[in-house]
A and B are shown apart, each in its own frame.
Chain A
Amino acid sequence: GAVVSQHPSRVICKSGTSVKIECRSLDFQATTMFWYRQFPKKSLMLMATSNEGSKATYEQGVEKDKFLINHASLTLSTLTVTSAHPEDSSFYICSARAGQGTDTQYFGPGTRLTVL
């Protein structure tokens, strides 16, 4: 199956700093990428849907100015957590889909963010 990578796998930062997480589709072009957040032993909550070349669509309750999403190419989407605070500590997972008519989403391995 197709491979989606995330970088970094773990990041620790100080409160107030910004952190960028990359999601890459390694062997296919992803027209759509999804960003999820997962708390320990909890479900995945969709944060936003990102389509290549257009603005991301955020789910209700997700601050778009805090969680900046960029999908500038068909193989890369980035999530930037701006002015991170301890409550932003979580596990962030991306998934990628090749396009309409392709009914499979491939998940990345996730990024664990810890804000001190």
Chain B
Amino acid sequence: AQTVTQSQPEMSVQEAETVTLSCTYDTSESDYYLFWYKQPPSRQMILVIRQEAYKQQNATENRFSVNFQKAAKSFSLKISDSQLGDAAMYFCAYGGSDAGGTSYGKLTFGQGTILTVHP
């Protein structure tokens, strides 16, 4: 079974600064997807960024980027120029490739990291 570990229960950052959230996972599969989701106080899950394991290039989405180390099974999220609206709980998630190999099935989530942004 796949496991996802987020070792930082809480993190804080000053507005406009950079913060990195850590995530490690364990799997025996070679094809899979990795995600970072944001859950603000509204509890709505918001996809921040995703990475396909077969892609060596790290994904980026505006101020959000990942450091994907496949051999080390590490998938960290870097938030640059942090904003007050970035404050939320962040979940790392693993999605195994489904039978067709073109998508992913169920998601396994890490424990979450609560990010506080100080003005």
Contacts and interface: CB of A to CB of B under 8 A. Distances in A.
Contacts of A43: 91, 109-112
Nearest to B103: A103
B76 interface: no
Contact of A44 (B44, B105, B109): B109
A49 B105 CA distance: 9
Interface string A14-34: 000000000000000000101
A13 B2 CA distance: 35
A107 B103 contact: no
Interface string A90-102: 0101010100111
A78 to B, nearest CB: 19
A103 B100 CA distance: 11
Contacts of B107: 34, 44, 46, 95, 105
A95 B39 CA distance: 14
A107 B42 CA distance: 13
Interface residues of B, number: 23
A42 B43 contact: no
A38 B47 CA distance: 17
B112 A42 contact: yes
B91 A103 contact: no
A93 B108 CA distance: 14
A97 B43 contact: no
B72 interface: no
Interface of B: 33, 42-45, 47, 89, 91, 98-100, 102-112, 114
Closest 6 CB pairs of A and B: A107-B45, A100-B100, A103-B103, A101-B102, A43-B109, A44-B109
27 contacts: A41-B112, A42-B111, A42-B112, A43-B91, A43-B111, A44-B45, A44-B91, A44-B107, A45-B109, A46-B106, A46-B107, A46-B108, A49-B105, A95-B45, A100-B98, A100-B99, A100-B100, A100-B103, A101-B103, A102-B103, A103-B33, A103-B102, A103-B103, A104-B47, A107-B45, A110-B43, A110-B44
